[in-house]
Amino acid sequence: MNIPLIISCPLVGAELTRDIYPNLPLTPDEIADAAKDAVGAGASIIHLHVRDKDGKPSQSVEIFKEVTEKIKERCDCIIQYSTGGAVGTDVAERCAPLSLKPEMATLSMGTMNFAEEIYENSFDTITEIARNIQKYNVFPELEIFDYGMMDTLEKFVKKELLPEKFHIDFVLGVPGGMSGTIHDLLMLTQRLSENQTWSVAGVGRFQLPLLTHAIAMGGHIRVGIEDNIYYLKGELAESNTQLIERAVRIANELDRDIASVEDARNILEL
């Protein structure tokens, strides 16, 4: 059965700056325009971080509301809020935008070294974000950065601290987390229950090979400049759209249809 491929696009992230990537969308209008372009290229989910007027990462409810409204004016898509914020963001701030009741939101399943910093997701933090996700009836995407986080996920399921239904995203290749080889992906997918939906986000040089493997395996993919700013080695991508268009071409070669927004909602049972 050819399950249509859901493409999620992380437009901007919380770590990038224009010094690193000059084409980074920062203002509400720039982010909304980038979302429209990504959906036009084949994305059905927009993974959303926002920036303040100085271009710094923000969990401001007002900014999330403004950007969400601008995206909805431009296109129909599933908007997925990040509850990760930037490294060091207080858990209350990370949860605050959930009050806007987006269709989806992320929940990271463990603390890890994140390059030279520590990305804190203690059991208390995970529990608090999960509680808010359930409070506002938001469909969660559980982010797995390392193999042990699958054990944490299972513990939270057994304790009924997570909603009954969720999507899993394997974020592989982050310095300090699990690497991004096909072996790593296969190990993780072997832990999945039957009919569990999943995707993979390959960071940096792992993006292209992992998305290709995931497409062939029947999984879904996350593709965008938050995870990888290069189109080829040493060549910056022009935009999120350029990266998505390449993923669509690969999917076509592998005989995977691209999920429309309606398809994605049906597959995820939103």
CATH number reported for the structural domain that contains residue 182 in this entry? 3.20.20.70
Which residue range is the domain that position 63 belongs to?
A: 7-268
Could you give the number of structural domains in the chain? 1
**Residue at 110 is within a domain:** yes
**Would you say residue 86 has pLDDT above 80?**
no
- Distance between CA atoms of 182 and 174, rounded to whole angstroms? 15
**Residue at 42 is within a domain:** yes
pTM for the predicted model, two decimal places = 0.96
**Residue at 183 is within a domain:** yes
**Residue at 1 is within a domain:** no
pLDDT at 207: 98
pLDDT at 89: 83
Higher confidence at residue 163 or residue 26?
Answer: 26
**Residue at 145 is within a domain:** yes
pLDDT at 114: 81
**Residue at 68 is within a domain:** yes
**Residue at 2 is within a domain:** no
Q: What is the pLDDT of residues 149-182, one digit of tens each?
A: 999 999 999 999 998 899 999 999 999 999 999 9
**Residue at 92 is within a domain:** yes
